[in-house]
Amino acid sequence: RPFRELIITEELRRRGILTVEVYGACVEPVWGPFYRGWLATRSIPGAQDLWAALQSGFVRDAGEEGCLRAVARSVRALHRKGVYHADLNLKNILLCLDNRNVTAYIIDFDKAKLVLGSLPPRLAKNNLDRLLRSARKLDPERRYFSLDRWDDFLKFYHQVNAAEF
C-alpha cells in the first residue's frame, strides 16, 4: 500500500491537487503476508489537521470563512480532477497559513480511486457524506463543527469556480 499511495499522491500532485510531497516509501515484512509500511513526506510547517485546527482555535484565529473556503476549494479540486478519497475525514485535511491566507492540503491517498475527468456526482456526494460522518463521529456534540458550518462548507464547495483550478 505505501508504494500505491506514493504513485497516487504523485499523480495527484501532477493533476494540481494540493497534497504533501512524498520523498519515499518503505515496507518491512512482519510475518507471513503481514508488513508495516511507511511514507516519508515533506513536512508542511505550521500545518494542523482540520480536527486539531478546529479544537486549537486555529480556525477561529485564521478566520472561519477563509478556512472553510480553503477546504471546500481543495475538496472540490479533488472531485473535479477525478479523485475519490475513500477515507476523506477531518484528520486527512491539513490547514496552514501561507502569507496570511489559509491553504488546505489533502493527505492519505492509499485507498483513493482515480477516474478520467470529473468524479461522477454520485461519487462526489458519497465523498462529502463520508466527510460529514467523520465530523459527526469526532464531534458528536457539534461543539467545533456545527451544522451551520457544514452548510457554509457545502455552499462554498458548490460556489467554487472551475477557473480556480
pLDDT in tens, the chain (165 residues): 667 777 888 888 888 899 988 887 767 778 887 777 766 778 898 999 999 999 999 999 999 999 999 999 999 999 999 999 999 999 999 999 988 899 999 998 888 999 989 999 999 999 999 999 999 999 999 999 999 999 999 999 999 875 554
* Cell, residue 43: 513536512
Beta bridge partners of 114: 83
Angle subtended by helix axes 64-80 and 147-159, to nearest 10: 50
Distance, in Å, from the CA atom of 123 to the CA atom of 163, rounded to the nearest integer, reads 22
Question: What pLDDT, on a 0 to 100 scale, did the predictor assign at position 164?
Answer: 58
Q: Three-state DSSP class for 91?
A: helix
Distance, in Å, from the CA atom of 146 to the CA atom of 138, rounded to the nearest integer, reads 12
pTM for the predicted model, two decimal places: 0.89
Distance, in Å, from the CA atom of 101 to the CA atom of 110, rounded to the nearest integer, reads 28
Distance, in Å, from the CA atom of 39 to the CA atom of 81, rounded to the nearest integer, reads 23
